[in-house]
Amino acid sequence: ILDRYDRKLPFGPWVRGIAAKLLLNHRRKIGRSRVHYCDEEVLGRIDDGFRAFARIPADTFDESLDALRDCMARLTGPQRESIVLHYEHGLHCKQIAERLGIGFEAVKKHLQRGRAQLHRCLQGKIPTEDVA
């Protein structure tokens, strides 16, 4: 299904639309009379939440990818190399340690600190809203 996504369009609304259709199909399948846990007020609040999500900036795939690339560039060399080897190439810490010529514990620290740095950086680049 992901191969049908147009990267020029916002990703969040697209994926949330799929989720909404799956939920509606589920409701149809089990029958409306058996769905007692969602009254109109709850459904209205869910709709409000979806509308708020649709307004979140940096919601296109390309915008998110650009933000990630910029944040990756800000990492130290060992952090960036460890993250690329682990997440892009699928190497385990022991393999990364051998490839980079550093200790196993050092790789774990580079991954831990790199992920924390990416998290902080992306939070600053892709602001979120309170949707509740």
Give Dmax (Cα) for the chain. 63
Q: What's the pLDDT tens digit per position in 77-125?
A: 999 999 999 988 889 999 999 999 999 999 999 999 999 999 888 887 7
Closest of 12, 15, 13, 20 to residue 1, by C-alpha: 15
The residues with which 10 forms a beta bridge, in sequence order, are 60
Torsion sign over Cα 114, 117, 119, 122: negative
Q: Which helix (H) or strand (E) holds 47?
A: helix 40-54
Give the Cβ contact number of residue 75 at 10 Å. Answer: 20
Q: What's the pLDDT tens digit per position in 11-24?
A: 777 777 777 777 77
